Amino acid sequence: MTTLPYADRVGGLVGSVIDSSTSLLHKQTHDIVRFAMGSPAAEAVPSAVLAGIAADQLSRPDAYDYAATEGDPPLHEALLETLRGTSDETTADRLTITAGGMQGLDLFCKLFVNPGDLVVVESPTYTNGSATALSYGAQLLEVPVDDDGMIVDNLEQLLDGRRPKAIYTIPTFQNPSGATLSLDRRHRLLEVARSWGSMVIDDDPYGLLRFAGDPLPTIRELAAGDPLVFAVRTFSKIVAPGLRVGWVDTAAELQPLLINAKQAMDTCTNLPAQRLLAGFLRGGHLEDHLVTQRAQYRRRKEAMHAALQEHFGDIARWTDPEGGFFLWVTLENGVSTAELFEVALAEGVAFIPGPAFSPSGRFADALRLCFASTPPDRIHEGITRLRRAVNKLT
Ligand code: PMP
């Protein structure tokens, strides 16, 4: 380490194993079945429709200007219209466009997290979210997840008298477990948060990608405008992650602060990307696109289940998500998934090891598989390779 005069918070910049897998995998030259990143299927990205919108919208010089910090009006308006009648219906004064879901999480922490504040996270969790809290000096408390999401009734005991500043939940088709927080637990979570005066970060990027079971109201809907709920949303999973556009839905009183925070960060969200999305929503493409994606992801989840049953039935168990991108596999033969990663990569299959989803490195025996980005026949091939890799370690 050099002697540069670093800020104290540099110690909280822990990085992301998940994100780093993108550049690691780009460098590989052999054939790899990619279950690692949480990206939509390449063929599911509506690139032809977006190219048509680009030809129209992006030939105008004003598409390259600065945008309004709260969001470019065409996207702001089209999004409000798109959300009307859904569990995420909202109003202009609550809606702020962000540079993806990650910026929503960063803005939350900037507004609410002081060094030393306690932030509750699910265990396992999306560690880019917990890393954002750490970068502002938060202390983290990991609360276990089961098939019905965060075990909210464990919270009180684990808190041991402390009051969390915030509770971070990914309530629907959780990243990484695929679990969905039950309706009872959604109510209970809001109840305990209200009783402690804690904020709730409702990070729900996958909720629109349900391919089985009955929809549940979002936490923000159940909260009925309670200012404690800070909802983070993104176009990354439903349209394309490279656009880097999302939104937050918050108490209206927060919007001026969000604007100030964003002006001290990036001025505005990328305007060409906002124009593309405005055109996509205004053209009525989202609903058709979601219908196609849901059917495709259902087939892929089923293919992954069938392949796991065939190749891992004797040594593992796995979750059964009703939507989203991910399955969580737990090995029961003592193999460390961190060790398995290298062997599997050489064998031609990539996943993310379980410890990447726990700030304290739990889940040595687990791994996350993204079923969304790989066609069914390749899924079979990938799971076959994964079993070969496990066999090399046993
Ligand atoms: N939250 C969760 C739960 C996610 O899975 C992701 C993306 N993997 C994000 C937030 C970040 O979204 P974005 O790529 O739009 O920043």
Q: Which of 143, 139, 169 shows the shortest CA–CA distance to 155?
A: 143
Is the CB of residue 132 below 6 angstroms from any atom belonging to ligand 1? no
Question: Which of 97, 174, 175 best tests ligand 1's pocket when mutated (most atoms within 8 Å of CB)?
Answer: 175
Q: What ipTM describes this predicted complex?
A: 0.99
Residue 109 pLDDT > 70 = yes
Is the CB of residue 354 below 6 angstroms from any atom belonging to ligand 1? no
Task: Give pLDDT, residue 337.
Answer: 97
Is the CB of residue 175 below 6 angstroms from any atom belonging to ligand 1? yes
Q: Which residues contact 9 (CB under 8 A, 6 or more apart)?
A: 115, 135, 136, 137
Q: What is the Å distance from ligand 1's center to 244 Cα? A: 10
Q: What is the Å distance from ligand 1's center to 95 Cα? A: 18
Q: What is the Å distance from ligand 1's center to 64 Cα? A: 26
H helix or E strand, kind and range, residue 193 = helix 183-196
For the residues 165-187, what does the mean pLDDT come to?
Answer: 98
Cβ(9)–Cβ(124) below 8 Å: no
Task: Give pLDDT, residue 25.
Answer: 86
Residue 286 pLDDT > 90 = yes
Question: Which of 203, 325, 328 best tests ligand 1's pocket when mutated (most atoms within 8 Å of CB)?
Answer: 203
What is the crossing angle of helices 47-57 and 271-282, to 10°? 110
Residue 2 pLDDT > 70 = no
Task: Give pLDDT, residue 1.
Answer: 55
Is the CB of residue 100 below 6 angstroms from any atom belonging to ligand 1? yes
For the residues 52-71, what does the mean pLDDT come to?
Answer: 97
Residue 293 pLDDT > 60 = yes
Which domains does the chain carry?
8-45+288-392 (3.90.1150.10), 61-283 (3.40.640.10)
Q: What is the Å distance from ligand 1's center to 215 Cα? A: 21
Q: What is the Å distance from ligand 1's center to 160 Cα? A: 30
Rounded Cα distance between 282 and 18, Å, is: 33
Q: What is the Å distance from ligand 1's center to 101 Cα? A: 5
Task: Give pLDDT, residue 19.
Answer: 86
Q: Kind of pairing, strands 366-370 and 229-234? A: unpaired
What is 253-264 written as a DSSP string? GGHHHHHHHHHT
Ligand 1 atom with minimal separation from the 103 CA: 16
Residue 221 pLDDT > 70 = yes
Provide, rounded to the nearest whole percent, the portion of the chain with pLDDT above 70.
99
Ligand 1 atom with minimal separation from the 38 CA: 8
Q: What is the Å distance from ligand 1's center to 102 Cα? A: 6
Cβ(371)–Cβ(300) below 8 Å: yes
Other CB atoms closer than 10 Å to residue 134's CB: what's the count?
Answer: 22
For the residues 64-93, what does the mean pLDDT come to?
Answer: 98
Q: What is the Å distance from ligand 1's center to 124 Cα? A: 15
pLDDT, one tens digit per residue, over 374-394 is: 999 999 999 999 999 999 999
Task: Give pLDDT, residue 23.
Answer: 84
Q: Which residues contact 29 (CB under 8 A, 6 or more apart)?
A: none
Order of strands across the sheet with 316-318?
Answer: 316-318, 326-331, 366-370, 352-353
pTM of the model: 0.97
For the residues 325-341, what does the mean pLDDT come to?
Answer: 97
* DSSP helix, strand, coil percent of the chain (3-state; round to 5): 45, 15, 40
Tokens of 169: 């939940």
Confidence of residue 161 (pLDDT cuts 50, 70, 90): very high
Ligand 1 atom with minimal separation from the 104 CA: 16
Is the CB of residue 171 below 6 angstroms from any atom belonging to ligand 1? no
- Per the prediction, the chain carries an average pLDDT of 96
Q: Closest residue (by CA) to atom 12 of ligand 1? A: 101
Please report, for the chain, how many H helices and E strands are present, in that order.
13, 14
Tokens of 103: 């910026």
